[in-house]
Structure 1
Amino acid sequence: MVKRRINLHPFEGGSTFTTLDIDIPDLCLRNGEHMTPDVLYGAADRDKQNFSVLLRCVDCGLFFNRQYKLINRGDGNFTNYRVGTEIDLLIAPKIATNVPDSIKKISSDFDKIYNQAMQAESYQLDQIVGIGLRKALEFLVKDYAVKQNTAKADKIKSDTLQNVINDSFKDDPRIQSLATGAAYLGNDETHYVKRYETKDLKDLKRFINSFISIIDMNETIDETLRMRAEGK
């Protein structure tokens, strides 16, 4: 970081209303080279609670900005502005994963991990998306297996994913087949050499989504069976 003095302008524009010394990054966000960026403009928000600074790399010309809290330690007749903490400008786009409520109830961890994997994909982090999906799959498989057989919860949680798939879903070949296929493709995403070279992330997501759909369907069927039983 390097300290620079900036002139801070009001939200509406116009003359400088205060001057501040702030710490700004001395690395280019594009190439990582050390440099001292040009300070182009500083402006507060409407309520003078925060302010932003527009910067430019002196080497490549990349524009970027930083945002900080603006603290006024004065009183009604006197202003004494100081720089507060820097504000994180990373705004993650909301990804609509449409995970059914029934799945969230079975495995809240799956929902969290799956959403993070999809978030990574939105940032084009294609080398880690599959790893996240593989982890999400394991949580859903094991949590669903535990729901089906709570007496074996400890064994299920500590066993390998494939053993859980083979043992817990042997009476439902559709779930067993989908979970196995998704596990194979998920494992491929973590290995140096891929076993299924004709398959990719799209197939892994398709298998997991189909796995989700069958579980959701089973949960809905169980709900209607309970409803009918209670109605008798």
Structure 2
Amino acid sequence: MATGLRDQVNGVRVGVRYAVADRAAAVGGDWYLTIPLPGGDVLLAVGDVMGHGRPAAATMVQLRAAMARLALAGDEPGTILAALNRMLCRRPSTTLATAVCGRLRPTGRLLTWARAGHLPILRVTPAGVSTLDQPAGMVLGVDPAARYATAHVTVDAGDLLLMYTDGVVERRDRAIDQGVQGLADDVRSAVRASAPGERLRTALDCARRGNPDDDACLLGAEPV
């Protein structure tokens, strides 16, 4: 998985790992977003269109662009996911996707987020690694009337947030929740021995791609 670290985005350091299953096409259905928003907030998001190759990538591009546009217009995470859901439900053929979308306010370090059938956000603190409580939200593309609850959490100084797709944690020989716990354990061990300024890079570097036959995306964010 290729790794990249970016400069601060509105006071938040971000980094990503990304890999595609279809190496010939070099595109996939997973996506991430880290963009500055008006007023000083930062949009953090990860999504996963079911399937591989160019068809999944085409849908991914549309969802990613729509998410960015709605966030820049000031919509909240739950409202954004509801709009993406209606967009997929209007298609003549069934297209499903999962996503997690958060608005992080560096001032006060408040994360407002929602999810659509997606895996839980991991929070890395000096005390360990845990999953954030998940607000209700079903997979995108199933029910046009679906609603997406919003959750709020204060991110303390020194914390890391990790968003990821199932290609990072899914393996044939274990349940998906075991894969999430495995990622949490790997990150916990890695950051415990790292210098404060290297924790984000270390967390990204320790992650191992769970399923080489699936796209994989891991996004890390660290308020500074």
- TM-score above 0.5: no
TM-score by length of 2: 0.24
User: What TM-score, normalized by structure 1, do the two folds share?
Assistant: 0.23
Larger fraction in strand: 2
Higher alpha-carbon Rg = 1
Where relative contact order (Cα < 8 A, 6+ residues apart) is larger, the structure is 2
